[in-house]
Homo-oligomer: A and B are copies of this chain.
């Protein structure tokens, strides 16, 4: 197993320690229980936004802790849900006395543990469940649709609104609205390799790809022969638009997300394909994001995410953000 590790059981602790050290100006890492929080104390009266999930998707979620986005993130072991004690400790650490918004990707373990934490943690809370993956209904670890790269869009937009003073019920409604406006689909060229497993999660022939893959290597819609970038983009974008059914002239955010093992120049090439397809359908790509934001360890592949914007969402997307992995504005 070709990985930069010392001991497979310590990967997460050693990686989080490095993350905390590299970004000590922005975040603070608690190792027991494990969570990452903003260094600055939460402003009294601000709703705390907390997300989390299995590790291996970096920079999601810890890379999005900071001004204008999350207050805390709870990392589980690789592809394993974090536990309620992590979430409860994180919520206590970043409470501003105005409640907690949990942002949860739709995987059975995450959903169950965040629900338990919500029941046990102090204070009021609400949850936004992210279900943006149009590839399949139900999957290896999920009832209903999976939550994938659209999650960071939910985190960015609700994070901006929380910073601006929105209350818990407004943030819950806003988060649900972003989820309702967001669809994703991914494709894999290679498997990822979970350190504790020591071997690839699945295998693909040299001329095959997994269309509709999940971010843990879960099966997608079907295994297909490799195709040109334009055809791949058409398939993913087509599935998204069929489901989202945006009106002509709709402004959208287009996010091409790398799974970790695909060169950036190919991601920009895919962005160009997806952009052209959206334009052909009469949509306007008003905002864009290209890069490795929701990864699947070293998996080669990418996903396309489309969010139907309105003036308010665009303004919140543009609002200042200052996190390890995303910075914009002043």
Residues of chain A having any CB pair with chain B under 8 Å: 2-7, 11-12, 14-19, 21-23, 55-56, 58-59, 63, 78, 189-190, 206, 209, 226, 228-230, 232, 260-273, 275, 285, 288-290, 292, 295, 297-298, 300, 302, 327-328, 330
**A270 interface neighbour in B4, B229, B272, B289, Cβ under 8 Å:** B4
Query: A292, B292: Cβ atoms under 8 Å?
Result: yes
Residues in B neighbouring A209, C-beta threshold 8 A: 2
Query: A5, B229: Cβ atoms under 8 Å?
Result: yes
Residues in B neighbouring A21, C-beta threshold 8 A: 271-272, 275, 285, 288
Query: A269, B15: Cβ atoms under 8 Å?
Result: yes
Query: A268, B22: Cβ atoms under 8 Å?
Result: yes
- Rounded to whole angstroms, the CA-CA distance of A232 and B288 in the bound complex is 38
Given A2-B190, A2-B300, A327-B328, A18 and B271 contact (CB-CB distance below 8 Å): yes
Central interface residue in A232, A261, A267, A275, by most chain B CB within 10 Å: A261
Sample (6) of A-B pairs whose CB atoms are under 8 Å apart: A4-B232, A4-B267, A4-B270, A5-B228, A18-B268, A58-B265
Residues in B neighbouring A232, C-beta threshold 8 A: 4
Closest CB in chain B relative to A104 CB, distance in Å: 21
Query: A330, B330: Cβ atoms under 8 Å?
Result: yes
- Rounded to whole angstroms, the CA-CA distance of A328 and B329 in the bound complex is 10
Central interface residue in A206, A261, A266, by most chain B CB within 10 Å: A266
Query: B272, A56: Cβ atoms under 8 Å?
Result: no
Closest CB in chain B relative to A183 CB, distance in Å: 19
- Rounded to whole angstroms, the CA-CA distance of A49 and B116 in the bound complex is 55
- Rounded to whole angstroms, the CA-CA distance of A269 and B264 in the bound complex is 22
Central interface residue in A4, A11, A58, by most chain B CB within 10 Å: A4
Query: B264, A58: Cβ atoms under 8 Å?
Result: yes
Query: A2, B229: Cβ atoms under 8 Å?
Result: no
Closest CB in chain B relative to A222 CB, distance in Å: 17
Given A22-B290, A58-B263, A275-B18, A206 and B268 contact (CB-CB distance below 8 Å): no
**A2 interface neighbour in B19, B56, B206, Cβ under 8 Å:** B206
Central interface residue in A206, A260, A269, by most chain B CB within 10 Å: A269
Residues in B neighbouring A327, C-beta threshold 8 A: 327-328
Query: A265, B300: Cβ atoms under 8 Å?
Result: no
- Rounded to whole angstroms, the CA-CA distance of A185 and B298 in the bound complex is 22
A14-B272, A15-B272 provided; 7 other pairs, C-beta below 8 A?
A: A4-B266, A6-B229, A15-B265, A18-B269, A21-B288, A22-B271, A22-B290
Closest CB in chain B relative to A261 CB, distance in Å: 5
Closest to A297 in B: B263
- Rounded to whole angstroms, the CA-CA distance of A292 and B289 in the bound complex is 16
**A298 interface neighbour in B5, B270, B272, B300, Cβ under 8 Å:** B300
Query: B4, A302: Cβ atoms under 8 Å?
Result: yes
Given A11-B265, A327-B327, A6 and B228 contact (CB-CB distance below 8 Å): yes
Query: B17, A272: Cβ atoms under 8 Å?
Result: yes
- Rounded to whole angstroms, the CA-CA distance of A262 and B295 in the bound complex is 11
- Rounded to whole angstroms, the CA-CA distance of A328 and B49 in the bound complex is 23
Closest to A296 in B: B263
